[in-house]
A and B are shown apart, each in its own frame.
Chain A
Amino acid sequence: MIGKLTALLFGAAILTLGCGAPRAPAPPGGRIAVMAPSAAETLVELGVADRIVAVGDFVDWPPALSRLPKIGAYDAPNPERLVELGVALLFTTASEAGRGEHARLEQLGIQVVALDTSTFAGTLAAIAEAGRQVGREAAASALLARIEARVDAVRRRAAAAPRRRVLVAVGHDPLFVAGPGSHLDELVTLAGGVNIAQDARSPYQMVALEAMLERAPEVIVDSADNRQGNPRGMTAGFWARWPFLPAVVQGGVAHVDPWQLLVPGPRLAEMAELMGRLIHPELFGAPRALDFTGHPEPAPPALPAAAAAAPR
């Protein structure tokens, strides 16, 4: 599942890269490989799904991509597979560690585009950059305009509401939370909340549970440790051990599948609206069952027409 991101690796995966100097787009029409789930969603949204020939191990959404050849995890694609598949353009999450490898791939004639989705602004910039690289600037601009309009609507609606204290957990053992700089922090703020981990030192930070208990969150958005089979929804779960927490008393604890919130890409607007429903249900309406779950399993591939029509 794409969404099964846990704290450290999530941080490592999206805290990355710096695209460096803007690069000229690759020649149009070349084959594309994409490592990160967020970039994969963006490319499909921009209408270039048919050019994508390979994906990172963790890409299983959108369904159009879930059955493509896998080429490795994180920002470490297998160069032999890339060459074999004739990839001309690689979308990855750049990291210091990956820089040398990216240079080597460029020598092999593969253009590497490293997208920075570590922040809200970075996610928007990454959509624009992806559009430029695949020659779909107009589609990217339209997508960005749609996202920004919906996000603005959330922001405006929440503007007058009282700020509620929110904790966003992305890992339990140890406790990892979203801190300043993360897109989650931005989403909390624009949806009428105050992130109680504002003094965390990085976008995803290991923190002391006692400090978070002391700050008495009114809403807990928990995307941690969501192995399959774990409960989803408005349920006190892990936090019920602390019955004095306002979030537990008021039923403000939401266990949300990481897919809903931890893949910063074209679904940012949906994430903002979901955050609105979790923090201010009186303004945005109560959360729905689908708000907590992962993406639906992709439908099985259609049988080839000939096979389907064959007499039994």
Chain B
Amino acid sequence: MSELRGKARAARERARSPLALRLALVTLGLAVALGVAIAIAVSFGAAEVPLWRRLLGGVWSDAQRAILLALRLPRVLAAAALGGLLGVAGVAFQALLRNPLADPYVLGVSGGASLGGVIALIAGVGGLGVPLAAFVGALASLVAIERIATSDGRLTVFTLLLTGAIFNAFSAALIYFLQSVASREELSAIVFYLMGRVPSPGLATLAALWAAGIAITLALFASARDFNALTAGEEGALQLGVDVERLKRRTFVLGSLATALAVSAAGLIGFVGLVVPHLLRRLLGPDHRLLLPAAFLGGASFLVLADLAARTLAAPTELPVGVVTALLGGPFFLLLLRRRGASLGG
């Protein structure tokens, strides 16, 4: 017990240390990095668009203007918002489960989103119907999982994790079933949908993704001190005066919303929500007041650059962006595990 108190005290002290300057520096630095990443990503693609010459007074053709403004720029900005959502969801779920191996897809919402999207594809709903159905599926699974994992008014983290895993497995089985009875054209649509791809959305979708990303990050940021306290365990956090039940429920809902938006808009893009929080935790330490805004900005930069690679490495062929994030993230994550060894064990 005294050890627990010690941990709690350490967490409280960390929480009290003056951080305004570090927060400003980290946020500013990562925002500049994101700006640079966006500028680079907009400059390159499968087609040649003399971006900088235009700024110096050159002229674009109609095709070049359309490529840049209707295809490339929206896609880069979407990648940034999606990466930010995934990064923040990763931090939230890792804090909630107190497990560094948690990622945005672990708690079942992604399964519900995928299933919703696949049903919409088979129903022949085009356009925004698929992401909307995916979002509805994600919200439905969010509510169901929360209900199932709550007993006696308490949200048990262990039950939450199990329920999420079972939800994902169940959704996957239903998707396999739907694939097996789908026509050829439906099957290929499903395969590509599940593979994950950054879209080139319209202005409204783009604004919604960004607004949601910033709002969710700020909402989670408001609980950053509580997350810090939670690292000492639920009991420790309780002793520090944290309303643990409320915190868990809020975190689950906010993280799931972020995941739902990301999966609905772009399918399953792996590793962003796992690798980015880890790297940042190594660079910045475990304080969630730094980690949350950093995860949004860092996740954004990471996915912008990964999508740039997906667009350009084999141009004109496009690679699935999930392949790139896995190729970048997988070995990197293993390296981190190896360096930190048992200390990562949570």
**Chain A residues whose C-beta falls within 8 Å of the C-beta of B191 in the assembled complex:** 8
The answer, yes or no, to whether B239 is at the interface (CB within 8 Å) is no
The answer, yes or no, to whether A44 is at the interface (CB within 8 Å) is no
The answer, yes or no, to whether B66 is at the interface (CB within 8 Å) is yes
Number of A-B contacts (CB under 8 A): 87
Most chain A beta carbons < 10 A, residue from B48, B124, B189, B316: B316
- Closest B residue to A8 by beta carbon equals B188
CA distance A159 to B62 in the complex (A): 32
Partner of A201, one of B46, B61, B192, B314: B314
The answer, yes or no, to whether A85 is at the interface (CB within 8 Å) is no
- Closest B residue to A196 by beta carbon equals B316
- Across the interface, do A6 and B184 meet the contact criterion of CB distance under 8 Å? yes
Interface residues of A in 1-32 (CB under 8 A from B): 4-10, 13
Interface residues of B in 50-73 (CB under 8 A from A): 61-64, 66-67, 70-72
- Across the interface, do B184 and A207 meet the contact criterion of CB distance under 8 Å? no
**Chain A residues whose C-beta falls within 8 Å of the C-beta of B316 in the assembled complex:** 197, 199-200, 207-208, 211-212
Given contacts A4-B184, A8-B191, A197-B316, contact A210 B67 (CB under 8 A): yes
- Across the interface, do A9 and B197 meet the contact criterion of CB distance under 8 Å? no
- Closest A residue to B71 by beta carbon equals A210
CA distance A171 to B186 in the complex (A): 12
- Across the interface, do B318 and A6 meet the contact criterion of CB distance under 8 Å? no
Given contacts A8-B191, A205-B317, A214-B63, contact A58 B71 (CB under 8 A): no
Q: What DSSP secondary structure best describes chain B's contact surface?
A: helix
Given contacts A173-B192, A213-B47, contact A242 B66 (CB under 8 A): yes
The answer, yes or no, to whether A227 is at the interface (CB within 8 Å) is yes
The answer, yes or no, to whether B248 is at the interface (CB within 8 Å) is no
Interface range on chain B (Cβ under 8 Å from partner): 20 to 34
CA distance A245 to B317 in the complex (A): 20
The answer, yes or no, to whether B25 is at the interface (CB within 8 Å) is no
Interface range on chain A (Cβ under 8 Å from partner): 35 or more
**Chain A residues whose C-beta falls within 8 Å of the C-beta of B45 in the assembled complex:** 208, 210-211
The answer, yes or no, to whether A206 is at the interface (CB within 8 Å) is yes
The answer, yes or no, to whether A125 is at the interface (CB within 8 Å) is no
Q: Contact string, B181-193, partner A, CB cutoff 8 A, digits 1/0?
A: 0011101110110
- Across the interface, do A5 and B185 meet the contact criterion of CB distance under 8 Å? yes
**Chain A residues whose C-beta falls within 8 Å of the C-beta of B314 in the assembled complex:** 201
**Chain A residues whose C-beta falls within 8 Å of the C-beta of B192 in the assembled complex:** 8, 173-174
CA distance A7 to B191 in the complex (A): 11
- Closest B residue to A1 by beta carbon equals B183
**Chain A residues whose C-beta falls within 8 Å of the C-beta of B47 in the assembled complex:** 208, 210-211, 213-214
The answer, yes or no, to whether A225 is at the interface (CB within 8 Å) is yes
- Across the interface, do B63 and A171 meet the contact criterion of CB distance under 8 Å? no
The answer, yes or no, to whether B315 is at the interface (CB within 8 Å) is yes
- Across the interface, do B66 and A171 meet the contact criterion of CB distance under 8 Å? no
- Closest A residue to B191 by beta carbon equals A8
CA distance A174 to B316 in the complex (A): 13
- Closest A residue to B319 by beta carbon equals A206
- Across the interface, do A200 and B317 meet the contact criterion of CB distance under 8 Å? yes
- Closest B residue to A227 by beta carbon equals B124
Partner of A207, one of B46, B64, B188: B46
- Closest A residue to B312 by beta carbon equals A208
CB distance from B197 to the nearest CB of A (A): 6
The answer, yes or no, to whether B311 is at the interface (CB within 8 Å) is yes
CB distance from B78 to the nearest CB of A (A): 15
Most chain A beta carbons < 10 A, residue from B46, B62, B185: B185
**Chain A residues whose C-beta falls within 8 Å of the C-beta of B63 in the assembled complex:** 213-214, 216, 242, 244-245
**Chain A residues whose C-beta falls within 8 Å of the C-beta of B315 in the assembled complex:** 208, 211
The answer, yes or no, to whether A97 is at the interface (CB within 8 Å) is no
- Across the interface, do B188 and A7 meet the contact criterion of CB distance under 8 Å? yes
**Chain B residues whose C-beta falls within 8 Å of the C-beta of A199 in the assembled complex:** 316
- Across the interface, do B318 and A207 meet the contact criterion of CB distance under 8 Å? yes
**Chain B residues whose C-beta falls within 8 Å of the C-beta of A213 in the assembled complex:** 47, 63, 66-67, 71
Given contacts A244-B61, A244-B63, contact A211 B46 (CB under 8 A): yes
CB distance from B314 to the nearest CB of A (A): 7
CA distance A245 to B315 in the complex (A): 20
CA distance A171 to B190 in the complex (A): 13
- Across the interface, do A58 and B184 meet the contact criterion of CB distance under 8 Å? yes
CA distance A243 to B192 in the complex (A): 27
- Chosen A-B contacts, 12 in total, with CB atoms closer than 8 Å, are A6-B187, A6-B189, A208-B45, A208-B46, A208-B316, A208-B317, A210-B45, A210-B47, A210-B72, A214-B48, A214-B63, A242-B63
- 9 tightest CB-CB pairs across the interface, nearest first? A208-B46, A244-B62, A211-B316, A211-B46, A214-B47, A6-B188, A6-B185, A210-B47, A8-B188
Q: Measuring CB to CB, which residues of chain B are less than 8 angstroms from any residue of chain A?
A: 45-48, 61-64, 66-67, 70-72, 124, 183-185, 187-189, 191-192, 197, 311, 314-318
Q: Measuring CB to CB, which residues of chain A are less than 8 angstroms from any residue of chain B?
A: 4-10, 13, 58, 73, 171, 173-174, 197, 199-201, 205-214, 216, 225, 227, 241-245
